[in-house]
Amino acid sequence: MSTGSSSSMASHIVGYPRMGPKRELKFALESFWDGKSSAEDLKKVSADLRASIWKQMSDVGIKYIPSNTFAYYDQVLDTTAMLGAVPPRYGWSGGEIGFDVYFSMARGNASVPAMEMTKWFDTNYHYIVPELGPEVNFSYSSHKAVEEYKEAKALGVDTVPILVGPVSYLLLSKPAKGVEKSFPLLSLLPKILAVYKEVISELKAAGASWIQFDEPVLVKDLESHQLQAFTEAYAELESTLSGLNVVVETYFADLTPEAYKTLVSLKGVTGFGFDLVRGTNTLDLIKAGFPSGKYLFAGVVDGRNIWANDLAASLALLQGLESIVGKDKLVVSTSCSLLHTAVDLVNETKLDDEIKSWLAFAAQKVVEVNALAKALSGQKDEAFFSANAAALASRKSSPRVNNENVQKLAAGLKGSDHRRATNVSSRLDAQQKKLNLPVLPTTTIGSFPQTVELRRVRREFKANKISEEEYVKAIKEEISKVVKLQEELDIDVLVHGEPERNDMVEYFGEQLSGFAFTVNGWVQSYGSRCVKPPIIYGDVSRPKPMTVFWSSTAQSMTSRPMKGMLTGPVTILNWSFVRNDQPRHETCYQIALAIKDEVEDLEKAGINVIQIDEAALREGLPLRKSEHGFYLKWAVHSFRITNVGVQDTTQIHTHMCYSNFNDIIHSIIDMDADVITIENSRSDEKLLSVFREGVKYGAGIGPGVYDIHSPRIPPTEEIADRIRKMLAVLESNVLWVNPDCGLKTRKYGEVNPALSNMVAAAKQLRQELASAK
């Protein structure tokens, strides 16, 4: 195997998808977790995938090929393992951290819960949040970074090992339970740097010539003492880094002038990486002053979307940068890790040729990076550039992209804030008269377990192996089973379980115009969980009802309220690959109008409770506070558009998960939903702190009472305890009892007892409330 290009063509990939082109790692992980395969089997699948990726990049001609990007769960958890920062509850007694401890931290086990999981910046990827405090004894406890480097080297590929930077690691952490919330995490810097020095020394001894530190926290709004921590950290590492080339990589947004100055002044650092797709203002900082003799890793190929690069525009930008930093110091790179995009367009057999010509997945982006590097060095592939220009022109002029009627409807939204006419308190009164729910009503978030049989039915229907009649019969039977189960459990507001849906966004996108779909365009969300984001290529509208048949069918099976289940416009937007030829908010308003049509049709069909999930609203919040206001204004407005036309007696729910909501609580209130269910259990109930601080929330609210992302079954008393904590800060007449999220990833053997315990806890608290009167 070759070792990549050794010429002046400088090309670099920040990171690469790890699940494999056909989700090989996902299936290997799940087989291992289910006890069907061994640790050695899992390691072999991952080693084969790594070898394939390194060979692919090497064959293309990439000079700086990454290693240690291949996490079994996520790269922050890998760093926690490297540092030996295992919370005491996992019973780790030292030594090299194995799969048992690693996956217990990520997923929990039968006796202890998992660590908190939250979104990775403003992406749909997640990471396990480190729990730190003054008592943590850091020690070098996972040699994965060195092992992967050696593994690649044995295959003939010299890679750039990637480490999560020490300052970003600490600033992405939280104080452990029992540690003061005000504990200064950066005070742990000297302790973790001692471990980083060991890792660096081993990498150097193994023959590494470059190391990459990912410090994405630099793009956030940082205080002066936080910026100072970067200066101190790299000054401390300088002597250990001596003899190595070091690149510090940033991504996802612009840097402030202060952060930029701090970054380019770091000691012991050879080069600096910037996202020049989402961080276009950083260009001005580079033009105003870039340190002489340093490398600039220019992230011009978008690592977060699937559109083909405008090669001519990128080349012009790079040529401008070349005049600033020098020909031999400019490296063509991706804007961030390609982890956030699909793997390979070659695997797409059902996309039509026109749309396919507009796209580039991870494998194609590697080729784009190399083509740009070759063009810079005077070896421009004219045919490749011409084909790219033709594809861009085709997309711009295609009649499939523009729908004049949709554009007029969206333009007509201006001038109204689309609020329901009656306040939430009056609406809740009207709804209670109609629904007659008990205090602390119980519900679930939407999905029920997706069994092997259910997946088979959907797969065979899509492949035309069973008739529509057979498919409808099978789905109705599944709905009937889920409805009966909920009635037996005595849940108050039911769901139909979403058996007809593989994915909450994909399902709606398939029925909306302006969307395209892939066969293998999978992207990792967390652990083994992968999603297949739709591609929004044109104006969006709803040709016909999407969920009314299934919701009406489910409601006909029970006298209890049945929730209609929809995905909200902001979440559809944030969980799709979005067109980049118009502002995101314009696309979002188009989706909102389509969902509005569906909401009104559900109401006409007799569905009195409609849930419009906005799981990803917080996720899309820009990383810089100066941009929050505009985003929240159009995102919240989009949600209100969907349900502005319903009657007071129709109860509108929404759901949000796995993010820090406290800083946007006023925007959540401004959404004006009747009930919100929201993640709470895995984050140590930090959501409740906002209510302890005096925020008044008059609508219904269901902070999750147990974590569905863990197989652990919470006991009744544990759930009852959680409800008591909620009642200390929320009125009993607005509190709902529900899990954190949908149940599709769980098994019925876990779901049934967990929901049974949840209902029992709610009934126990109802009795306590009644006897306290």
Binding site listing for 5-methyltetrahydropteroyltri-L-glutamate: 26, 124, 529-530, 575
The burial of 556, by beta-carbon neighbours within 10 Å (0-12 exposed, 13-18 middle, 19 or more buried), is given as exposed
> Residues with Cβ < 8 Å from 709, sequence gap 6 or more?
107, 114, 117, 526, 682, 740, 741, 745
Identify the H or E element spanning 39: helix 39-60
- Helix runs in 556-657, H state only: 569-574, 584-604, 628-643
Nearest in space to 72 (alpha carbons), one of 28, 21, 108? 28
Binding site listing for Zn(2+): 655, 657, 666, 670, 679, 741
**Cβ–Cβ < 8 Å for 104, 72:** no
> Residues with Cβ < 8 Å from 245, sequence gap 6 or more?
209, 210, 211, 270, 271, 295
Binding site listing for L-methionine: 445-447, 498, 613
| 3-class SS of residue 165 | coil
CA distance 656 to 677: 7
Active centre residues (catalytic) = 709
Binding site listing for L-homocysteine: 445-447, 613
- Residue 398 token pair: 């295609």
Please spell the DSSP secondary structure of 221-271, one letter per residue: ---HHHHHHHHHHHHHHHHHHTTSEEEEE--SSPPPHHHHHHHHT-TT--E
The radius of gyration of the chain's CA atoms, rounded to the nearest angstrom, is: 26
Instruction: Fill in the amino acid letter for 136.
Output: V
Instruction: Fill in the amino acid letter for 131.
Output: E
**Cβ–Cβ < 8 Å for 378, 319:** no
CA distance 122 to 619: 5
CA–CA distances in Å: residue 621 to residues 191, 337, 449 = 33, 20, 30
